[in-house]
A = this chain, B = another copy of it.
């Protein structure tokens, strides 16, 4: 399956497995940054992506927040979309079937305001699952709606309880998406592991704010919003590293990734896959650019499989001894 390049060098094995599921490569596109595929299709050959994490879906459709929803910041952006989505019924009747046409994996991201709603949405999708729907990403970390799950994401017990509940409802991949807006991500990673999650993904956006100095009004209509983009990459990387030390389940790294080099950092820190978010807004084909760049990197570095990079951080002995 792994081809040999004309220069004789073996192509690196880009495949990744998450429990039974095999992905083409480690590069997913992040929830809320790729729509439901149809919009970006024109600019991005979806089938070159490992998979698409769909926009958070809730039981009922949500109109989202009033404008302004996005503000550019230094090497990043704030958003306050407010989980605008079509609701789970349209999701299963229109979006999933549309996405089923592509040779790529689909992970349905779910947002809700109660245990029951999370379960109901998941079970409804289970009942209408399409062949390439491989799992769920549970958004307990949206900072810009009042009832967007952050009350779960900042509470270890509720995170564990929710994960246990959802675990009972599906055999597909169950991925819990964690928030960086906590003192330590470690206990959350451990709670997810205990409750049987297949993986965790992190980070969601950081709580941020911007003010119009002439009107004295917050620039985002929800006062604060979620910060994403290259600005947050160092924070995301630190949290992936801390989660890696804390738990044994796979980690999907997210936050400020724009290049193959960024991706390699996340893999070394301990993630086995990554998601591309904000970068899709700049280049709708960012995901495949990153995947392609990653393959080239592996080949240049003579690394035969992408898995060899995962969790390959080298910390010198004296630092380890000093407790770092």
- Using CB atoms and an 8 Å cutoff, list the residues of chain A in contact with chain B: 73-76, 78, 146, 154, 181-184, 206-211, 213-218, 221-224, 227, 229-235, 237-238, 241, 256, 261, 264-265, 268-269, 297, 301, 312-316, 319, 322-324
Contact = CB atoms under 8 A, between A and B. Distances in A.
Contacts of A221: 319
A268 B324 contact: no
A66 B222 CA distance: 43
B217 A316 contact: yes
Contact of A238 (B209, B233, B313, B323): B209
| Integer count of this chain's copies in the complex | 2
Contacts of A312: 216
Most buried by B among A78, A209, A319: A209
Contact of A75 (B74, B181, B223, B322): B74
A213 B182 contact: no
A297 B213 CA distance: 10
A209 B266 CA distance: 10
B241 A209 contact: yes
A254 B48 CA distance: 43
A97 to B, nearest CB: 35
Q: Which A-B residue pairs are the 10 nearest by beta carbons? A: A208-B234, A74-B230, A231-B231, A75-B75, A74-B75, A209-B238, A213-B264, A209-B237, A211-B265, A216-B314
Nearest to A232: B231
Contacts of A261: 213
A74 to B, nearest CB: 4
Contacts of A265: 210-211, 213
A44 to B, nearest CB: 23
A217 B315 contact: yes
Given A209-B238, A210-B237, A234-B209, A314 B269 contact: no
A227 B223 contact: no
Given A222-B319, A231-B232, A265-B210, A216 B313 contact: yes
A223 B261 CA distance: 18
